[in-house]
Structures are given as C-alpha cells and as structure tokens.
Structure 1
Amino acid sequence: WETALRHIVEAGIDRHSYIIAVGGGAFLDVAGFAAATAHRSIRLLRIPTTTLSQADSGVGVKNGINFMGRKNYLGTFAVAWATLDDFLFLHSQPLSLKRAGLAEVVKVAVVKDASFFNWLEANASALAGCERDALEYAVEHSALLHASHIACGGDAFELGSSRPLDFGHWAAHYMETMSGYTLGHAEAVSVGMCLDILYSVRKGWLPAAEAERIVSVLKTLELPVFHPLLSRRTEDGACEVLKGLEAFREHLGGHLTVLMLTGIGRGKDVHEIDAALMEECIREMQEAAGDSVQE
C-alpha cells in the first residue's frame, strides 16, 4: 500500500486524474486502497485479470489488505469509476489459476441462483477444462449476480450484519490466516463452503441430495473439499478454525451472522453455531477425504 501511494505521489496524480489498475484481486485491493485514501479519493478504473477477480472481487465496492495477522483488516468501501472485464486476460492465465477462481462462481450460484447452478452442474466438465465459451459465460453471469446483489441488495456498504456473498468465508478467511496466507482464497472458499454445506445438512436445513450435487460440482472442477488446517488444534486442544467465527463477527460487528443453506439458491442467516456439531462435520469431512494429517 505504501509503495502504491509512493508511486501516486511521485507521479503527481491529483483528484482529477484516473488510476488504472490491471491485475488480480490482491493487486486490485492494494491499488484500490491507495486510490481511495490518496487525496481522500482518486478515480479508479479496475481491469481484473483472473477468474476470481473478474467473477467476484473486481466488481465489488470493497478493497482490503491484511494487517497484524488479520484478513482484510485495513481497507475502505469505494466504488470504482468503472470495471472492465477483458476476456483476453481471462484466457491468458495458467489452467490451475483459471479453474480455481470458479469457487466464487459456484458460491454465488448456490446462494443466489438455482438455475445458474443447474447450468454449472450441466457444464462442469467443460468448465473443468476451461473451455472458452463455458468459462466466459460463467464468469460474466457470476459478475452480474455479484454486482446485482451489491447494487440492489440494500446494504452495499455492509452497515448491517448479513453478508450472503460471504457464504463459507468465515472458515476460509481464518484458514488463510492460519496458513500464513500460503493457502489461496479460492481453495479456502471451496473448503469453507463444504464445511457449511455439511453443517446445513446436519442441522436439517439442506437436503443431503442437494449437498451432494454441490460437492460433486466442486470435485469435478478439481477444487478442494477438505484441508488439514480444519483439523488443527491449539495447545489447549481446541479446534483452531472455530476462532474464525469470532473473527468473522468482529470484522462486521454486531451479532454473529453466518449464512447457511436451505436449498440450492436459498439461504438463511443464523446467529449461533453449535461448535460440537461443527467439529463433527470437520471429522466427517476428514474421514471422507481419507486424510488424517494434522498440521
């Protein structure tokens, strides 16, 4: 962030200027934070280059950087002057990075648009191969769903306590922190979604058959459905990832509010989490993955 601000100062950029930021989500966050704070705000044009940023973060109103070991602790809400999704950038990524970003595409489908999920399910093999037409449609539709929620959802700047677009993110964000940010956001979100999907099933909210469909799509896309960090314990034997619930609550403020699923395309806000049941879900995921490794 300081480096970005230094470039702004050295270039003599003023409030009638435009900053054009070209890159992935983390880069756009840094550039966006610098643009929002220099001269109290400079107009920003975002050009996201990755699947993840084109489908999700690049069209949002948030920017954030990690600070003092906390995910997105510093940042602002700042509406970009414009966002340009150029598919030439999308197709220039390595296959693994191109495919990983589809985690956020699946996420917005399962919380917002059942018909879009049906399309993802029917085209999962084409998406796994990142076939051009399928990938472009998925990214465009995801971006529109994210933008529509932000513009029309009634809480663009998160003044309330509900964040439906952050489904699966309470665990994902904390796993990223636990890993020292070596675990990618997309991979963490995929695992976090699987945890909350299973919890929703075990609470009787989500039919098991619908959960199996979602997890099957994630597997077809070669996204992870478990990570050993979920099973890591603190020195006193507590499940470490559960600390992410309080971190999630604190970041937004107010009461804990976590979205769980009642069906594909339907969710409900819950304000209490049964920690013992969540640990059971983690053990079940670990057994299903055949992974007994503990970090």
Structure 2
Amino acid sequence: MDDSLDLEFAVTYRHRIFFTEGAFAAGNRVLADLFAGAKVIPIVDAGLASSRPGFAAEVAAYGKAMGIHFTRAPLVLTGGEAAKKDSAVVKAALAAIEADKICRHSYVLAIGGGAFLDAVGFAAATAHRGVRLVRMPTTTLGQGDAGVGVKNGINTFGKKNFTGAFAVPAAVVNDLALLASLDARGLRDGLVEAVKVSLLKDPVFFANLERESTLLAAGNIPAIGRAVRRSAELHAKHIAGNGDP
C-alpha cells in the first residue's frame, strides 16, 4: 500500500550586526564576548594584510590579551575578485578548518572585502555542513551591504556565484577603524549602495546623504560611519523581512 508523510516546519534565524570602532583595541569586548570559550580560526584578506603590515600581529595580540582561543596566527589568503575566480581560497580555508579541528561549536573569523568574505563564507558554510562564521567587512561596500548579507559563493563554469550557499553568519562586526586602510576613492566607492537603498527605502536617509555629500566625498570617517550604519540596517531589515537576501 502506498503511503506518504508530508511535514512543514520553519527555522528561525538570528542575524546580529555589531557596530564598533577599534574592535582589536585593548579592552574592546565585542569579539571577546562573541567567542567566549570557543576555538576560533582567524582568516585575513591579503589585501588588508598588505595595506596594514602589522594587522595580523594586532589580531593575535588582541586574542592573547582577551583570552580568545585563536587556533593559529591569522591565516592570510588571497582577497579581491581573485578570491572567487576558482576554488583555491575555499580549499585553503577548508584545509585550515580541518587541520585546526574547527567544529560546529567553533568559529571562523573572516576579515576582508566582500569577495573574500564570499569565498571564506562558502568554506565555513560547507565544512561540517556549516560552522559558525563571524564576518568583519573591511570596505564601505562590505560594511553597508555585501558583508551584512547571507550570500556565500565563488565563480565556477564561467558564471558568477554559480557555486554557493545561503548561510546566516553568527555575527557581523562592522569596525569603522578597518576603513582606515582605504584611500578617499575606496571610501566613496561603496557608498553607491547606501544611495541605492536610500532611494528605495528611506527618503530621510537620502536627504541626509545629500546634506553630508561634501563630507562623504572628502572621506570623512564619522560621516561615512553614519551612512554605512544606516545602509547596513536597511539591508539587514530587508533580509529579515523576507526580502531577496
């Protein structure tokens, strides 16, 4: 006799975004509280490591001072669009996750630009069918849009993001201090997403961007921080409200 069982269920996700300045400064507890008692593998975008030569040591020193169980010195991997052009970064991240015995009770800390976060995020999403990921975007575009999203993936078969997964990060930490390595153009470039989302969802925000346009064009960090925060909030609320992730 034929039979079937048809069940429906819902999974609730929690999307946490922290805004801070100087996440790796002595006494800043955002990351320390997130990682309390867990193993963490830190993985850093090579572009960031190159522009800030002492950054990896800064991360390691913070971990030691705050009692975070980093499994190694920060692993530096290729960043930029090159991180997504093939599976090399994903494989390197997966190999490190396996070697350091990172499990579903551990964390992957990914620090870098949007494409880098996509690739490392895909590795985290597929290792053990998903280990906890904390994203730290290092560009205005990442902090205001891509880095606060839930998409992960790389380019395969000549198609952008053909291989990937949706995975909500355990947390996103937007550290305004990480934008310091960008030049004025780099600071401005990512604001296009802030303008776009303001036009779609928040006319008051758009008016604020217009009012602060001179400061934004000059790369004023406090003004950029305000724009990035509101952009991130609108994008995250769109995702949480059953919008296109």
Instruction: Report the Cα offset of residue 47 of structure 1.
Output: 0.9
Q: Specify which of 22, 26, 37 is matched with residue 126 of structure 2.
A: 37
Give the root-mean-square deviation of aligned CA atoms.
Answer: 1.3
Q: What letter corresponds to residue 171 of structure 2 in structure 1?
A: A
Q: Deviations over 1:87-135 (max 9, x none)?
A: 1002221222111111111111111111111111121111011112211
| Separation in 2, partners of 1:73, 1:48 | 22
Q: What letter corresponds to residue 125 of structure 1 in structure 2?
A: T
Whether 1:27 and 2:147 are equivalent positions in the alignment is no
> What residue is the counterpart of 1:71 in the other structure?
160
| Separation in 2, partners of 1:51, 1:88 | 11
Whether 1:139 and 2:228 are equivalent positions in the alignment is yes
> What residue is the counterpart of 2:67 in the other structure?
none
Whether 1:114 and 2:203 are equivalent positions in the alignment is yes
Q: What letter corresponds to residue 57 of structure 1 in structure 2?
A: A
Q: What letter corresponds to residue 90 of structure 1 in structure 2?
A: L
Q: Specify which of 76, 80, 98 is matched with residue 169 of structure 2.
A: 80
SS in 2 for 1:16: coil
Instruction: Report the Cα offset of residue 20 of structure 1.
Output: 0.6
> What residue is the counterpart of 1:183 in the other structure?
none
> What residue is the counterpart of 2:87 in the other structure?
none
Whether 1:12 and 2:98 are equivalent positions in the alignment is no
| Separation in 1, partners of 2:162, 2:92 | 18
Q: Specify which of 76, 98, 107 is matched with residue 187 of structure 2.
A: 98
Q: What letter corresponds to residue 73 of structure 1 in structure 2?
A: F
Instruction: Report the Cα offset of residue 57 of structure 1.
Output: 1.1
Instruction: Report the Cα offset of residue 64 of structure 1.
Output: 2.0
Greater fraction of residues in strand: 2
User: What TM-score results when the alignment is normalised by the length of structure 2?
Assistant: 0.61
Q: Specify which of 54, 74, 82 is matched with residue 143 of structure 2.
A: 54
Q: Deviations over 1:166-216 (max 9, x none)?
A: xxxxxxxxxxxxxxxxxxxxxxxxxxxxxxxxxxxxxxxxxxxxxxxxxxx
Instruction: Report the Cα offset of residue 43 of structure 1.
Output: 0.4
| Separation in 1, partners of 2:103, 2:212 | 47
SS in 2 for 1:84: strand
| Separation in 1, partners of 2:164, 2:157 | 13
Greater fraction of residues in helix: 1
> What residue is the counterpart of 1:2 in the other structure?
91
Task: Give unmatched runs, 5+ long, in structure 1.
Answer: 158-295
> What residue is the counterpart of 2:217 in the other structure?
128
SS in 2 for 1:80: coil
> What residue is the counterpart of 1:241 in the other structure?
none
Q: What letter corresponds to residue 36 of structure 1 in structure 2?
A: A
Q: Matches of residues 201-280 of structure 1 in structure 2 within 5 Å?
A: none
> What residue is the counterpart of 1:168 in the other structure?
none
Task: Give unmatched runs, 5+ long, in structure 2.
Answer: 1-89
Q: Deviations over 1:246-283 (max 9, x none)?
A: xxxxxxxxxxxxxxxxxxxxxxxxxxxxxxxxxxxxxx
Identity among equivalent pairs (%): 52
Instruction: Report the Cα offset of residue 156 of structure 1.
Output: 5.5
| Separation in 1, partners of 2:243, 2:181 | 34
| Separation in 1, partners of 2:93, 2:200 | 35
Paired residues of 1:61 and 1:156 also in contact (CA < 8 A):
no
SS in 2 for 1:15: coil
| Aligned positions, number | 156
Q: Specify which of 166, 172, 178 is matched with residue 89 of structure 1.
A: 178
